[in-house]
Amino acid sequence: MQTTAQVNTQATGPVRTRQSSPWRDAWYRLKKQKTALAGLFVIIFFIVVGLLAPVITSQPWDGQNLADKLKPPSAQHWFGTDDLGRDIFTRVIYGARISLWVGFFSVVGSIVIGTSMGLVAGYYGRWVDTIISRLFDIILAFPSILLAIAIVTILGPGLSNALIAIAIINVPTYGRLVRSRVLSIKEEEYVTAAKVLGMSHVRILFSHILPNSMAPIIVQGTLGIATAVLEAAALGFLGLGAQAPQPEWGKMIADSRQYITAAYWTVLFPGLAIMLTVLGFNLFGDGLRDALDPKMKQ
């Protein structure tokens, strides 16, 4: 005699259950966090604004009109104009390209170099670990912004050199993070089994250890972009990053700081752009950290 469940199964076919994966579960938890989604919205907003800058505004970002200098916000100039009569709204949205470009690629460089060094140090240990760890300690012994200033001073002022400096000073952050993960993962049974089967060290590193270390790297990378944007703005403010007439937010604030009382809008809107961008990446990074943490899984 068939039960009701058996009859329903025969009538409708086997019930398909949705397969679960760590990344799918993380995305499910991330969608529940409103602050993380708000941060993601801010990030996407600035990316879209930067990409569509020529569509959003028809004015050139370096166009000067001394007759309109230091004009307050109006229907013609939404964010006002600076001391050279340039439209601040246009320069702010074009500046999103520069800040996000520096933030993203400096973090990518830091991750590639730091992850490689951390993998080697944690996996091989001994004198290799000692040398790489001491190198990290030397870099971390200096305040990050002072070390970045020193590197840019040696290489020469410029946006590309600022990107290199920001990448270098953040290498130990990812290197030490990956090294700590490797030290724990390499003792797992599946890694030992791979060694017994004769798998090469390179294959073990990139097939077993690195994939299981990606979650903290992604979280730190997201938060690192916010830090990189701030560091790029600081170097630009000091005259060591982007050079005139590039519309970099930190450089815009530096060029207009003498007008802060007479024309507040010249520093207000670039400063707000920096604040919102950094806030967006921080909110999204915090949400990612909670979503990718296995302890948060119900």
CATH (domain of 186): 1.10.3720.10
73 is a domain residue: no
Q: For the chain, what is the domain count? A: 1
Structural domain includes residue 10: no
At residue 76, the pLDDT reads 87
DSSP string, 123-148: HH-HHHHHHHHHHHHHHHTS-HHHHH
Give Cα separations from 5 to 2, 8, 14, 16, 18 (angstroms).
8, 5, 11, 15, 20
Q: Give me the phi and psi of 83, to 5 degrees please.
A: -70, -10
Q: Is residue 219 situated within a structural domain?
A: yes
pLDDT on residue 147: 93
Do the beta carbons of residue 97 and residue 50 sit within 8 Å? yes
pLDDT at 57: 86
Domain span at 126: 23-60+80-296
- Domain membership flag for residue 8: no
Q: How high is the pLDDT of residue 261?
A: 87
In a domain, 268, yes or no: yes
CA 129 vs. chain centroid, Å, equals 27
pLDDT of residue 68: 83
**What is the structure's pLDDT at 1?**
45
Query: Quick one: pLDDT at residue 17?
Result: 47
Q: How far is CA 42 from the centre of its chain?
A: 13
Rounded to whole angstroms, the Cα distance separating 278 from 235 reads: 16
Residue 69 lies in a domain: no
E strands along the chain, which residues? none
Block means of pLDDT (10 residues each) for the chain, 298 residues, are 49 50 70 86 94 89 84 88 90 92 93 93 88 93 92 91 94 92 83 81 83 86 92 91 88 89 90 94 87 59
CA distances from 222 to 36, 226, 282 (A): 12, 7, 8
- Is 67 part of any domain? no
Question: Is residue 3, in this structure, part of any structural domain at all?
Answer: no
pLDDT at 293: 66
